């Protein structure tokens, strides 16, 4: 074979090393490809998450809190010691911590419990804010709320219910036990209440449907708790966030063995009947969720699978944490850059909503001059 000249050898070596470099870059992952060709999309940083009760909403709030902390974003936060945001009076601004950069500035994120009030919230937020919420099947949502607010929070109207099976007793005549105020109840179609739909329309089908349609117009995305992984991958795509942004640890799990209130025959249907506004809301957005998923290409399901694998690794790592443990390295894929999970990451993933909020409150106060 003919010997290559020095110049040809030099060119060939250059071509090979460039190819190896590009191969490493391109085969590594999508994020590296984006480094060369420019990003496909920029992460959206303006979100309102309407935190419905007992729907895995604290888990989603943790995701948003971590995202905001990482990107130094501003949060709409109630003044200490309040944990809820109240938009029911014109003086709602007085109950909020001021914006860290001046009172005329718009906030980036809102993710506390609040009764949705579009008029008030738009005054605080940027025009390009994504409005998001989450719903759960009303029977499980009702039971979760009933058990939690009776046995953990010990809310008087629920504690007062007598008998060996208080759920059964309550379902015989819910109105007998329910508090008068809309907002004091956690068991009367609370997801619908959280979304700002008044109790007055619960028994007026046309008006209720009208309100649900309005929510549909105003919200960018409604997640479904029973499809949490799918919901988070859709959220990631909508917001152009990274895989490490949507990992989470389950918050507020309630051990059903702690309560001895078996669900007897007929109770499932009684709850559906009582929670009929929540049921209509849930079924509407459940159908919409699946229409959205059915429009996705096959790669959506591959991304969900990858996400579930990563989520499991993170859960195992954070649950079996010990101080000397190495970092967890998550490999890159078509949908994510490589990333590391550390003890510090786990601390944030496990941080309860109120503790996280208190931390954010001190951060934002420090920023106020």
Q: How far apart are CA 17 and CA 159, in angstroms?
A: 73
Q: Which of residues 120-149 bind ligand PPS (CB under 6 A)?
A: 144, 148
Nearest to ligand PPS of 252, 343 (CB atom)? 252
Q: How far is the CB of 184 from ligand PPS (least distance, A)?
A: 15
- How many residues in the shown chain lie near ligand PPS by CB under 6 A? 16
What spatial distance separates the first Cα and last Cα of the chain, rounded to whole Å? 76
**Does 236 sit near ligand PPS (CB under 6 A)?**
no
Q: Rounded to an integer, what is the distance from CA 319 to the centroid of its chain? A: 21
**8 A C-beta contact, residue 254 and residue 321:** no
Q: Which of residues 187-226 bind ligand PPS (CB under 6 A)?
A: 225
**8 A C-beta contact, residue 74 and residue 100:** yes
Q: Are strands 328-330 and 339-341 parallel, antiparallel or unpaired?
A: antiparallel
In DSSP terms, 133 is beta-bridged to: 50, 222
Q: How far is the CB of 57 from ligand PPS (least distance, A)?
A: 3
**Does 29 sit near ligand PPS (CB under 6 A)?**
no
Helices and strands (H, E) in the chain, number of each type: 17, 6
Can you tell me which of 146, 228, 241, 317 binds ligand PPS, judged by CB under 6 A?
228
Q: How far is the CB of 155 from ligand PPS (least distance, A)?
A: 12
**Does 252 sit near ligand PPS (CB under 6 A)?**
yes
Q: How far is the CB of 261 from ligand PPS (least distance, A)?
A: 13
Nearest to ligand PPS of 225, 234 (CB atom)? 225
Q: Which of residues 53-112 bind ligand PPS (CB under 6 A)?
A: 53-59
Q: How far is the CB of 145 from ligand PPS (least distance, A)?
A: 8
| Interacting span for ligand PPS (CB under 6 A) from 14-22, 67-75, 250-258, 273-281 | 250-258
| Interacting span for ligand PPS (CB under 6 A) from 14-22, 76-84, 249-257, 318-326 | 249-257
Can you tell me which of 33, 207, 251, 259 binds ligand PPS, judged by CB under 6 A?
251
Q: How far is the CB of 226 from ligand PPS (least distance, A)?
A: 8
Structure tokens at 238: 């909508």
Q: Which residue stretches of the chain are H helix?
A: 6-28, 30-37, 57-70, 118-124, 138-147, 156-159, 166-172, 174-177, 190-194, 205-218, 228-239, 243-246, 267-274, 276-294, 299-319, 343-349, 353-367
Closest CA to 65 of 350, 367, 368: 350
Can you tell me which of 86, 157, 254, 300 binds ligand PPS, judged by CB under 6 A?
254
**Does 150 sit near ligand PPS (CB under 6 A)?**
no
Q: 């008030």: which residue's tokens?
A: 120
**Does 253 sit near ligand PPS (CB under 6 A)?**
yes
Q: Which distant-in-sequence residues (6+ apart) come within 8 Å of 75 by Cβ?
A: 65, 68, 107, 108, 109, 110, 111, 360, 364
**8 A C-beta contact, residue 77 and residue 110:** no
Could you list the residues that contact ligand PPS (CB under 6 A)?
53-59, 144, 148, 225, 228, 250-254
């Amino acid at each position: 074979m003919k010997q290559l000249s020095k110049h040809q050898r030099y060119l060939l070596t250059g071509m090979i090393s460039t190819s190896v470099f590009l191969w490493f870059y391109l085969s590594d992952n999508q994020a590296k490809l984006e480094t060369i060709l420019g990003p496909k999309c920029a992460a959206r940083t303006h979100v309102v998450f309407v935190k419905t009760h007992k729907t895995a909403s604290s888990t989603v709030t943790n995701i948003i809190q971590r995202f905001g902390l990482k990107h130094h974003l501003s949060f709409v936060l109630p003044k200490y010691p309040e944990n809820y945001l109240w938009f029911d009076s014109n003086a709602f601004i007085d109950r909020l911590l001021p914006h860290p950069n001046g009172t005329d500035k718009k906030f980036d994120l809102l993710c506390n419990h609040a009764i949705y009030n579009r008029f008030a919230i738009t005054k605080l937020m940027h025009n390009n804010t994504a409005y998001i919420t989450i719903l759960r099947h009303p029977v499980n949502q009702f039971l979760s709320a009933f058990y939690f607010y009776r046995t953990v929070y010990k809310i008087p109207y629920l504690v007062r219910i007598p008998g060996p099976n208080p759920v059964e007793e309550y379902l015989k005549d819910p109105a007998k036990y329910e508090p008068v105020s809309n907002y004091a109840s956690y068991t009367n179609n609370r997801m619908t209440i959280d979304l700002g739909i008044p109790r007055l329309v619960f028994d007026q089908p046309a008006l209720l449907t009208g309100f649900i349609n309005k929510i549909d117009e105003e919200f960018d995305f409604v997640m479904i708790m029973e499809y949490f992984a799918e919901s988070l991958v859709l959220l990631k795509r909508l917001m152009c966030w990274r895989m490490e942004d949507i990992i989470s640890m389950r918050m507020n799990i309630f051990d059903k063995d702690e309560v001895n209130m078996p669900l007897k025959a007929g109770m499932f249907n009684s709850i559906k009947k009582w929670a009929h506004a929540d049921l209509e809301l849930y079924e509407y957005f459940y159908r919409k969720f699946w229409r959205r998923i059915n429009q996705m290409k096959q790669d959506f399901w591959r991304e969900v699978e990858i996400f579930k694998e990563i989520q499991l690794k993170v859960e195992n790592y954070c649950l079996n944490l010990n101080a000397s443990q190495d970092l967890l390295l998550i490999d890159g894929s078509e949908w994510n850059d490589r990333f590391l999970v550390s003890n510090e990451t786990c601390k944030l993933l496990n941080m309860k909503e109120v503790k996280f909020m208190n931390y954010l409150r001190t951060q934002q106060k420090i920023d106020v001059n």
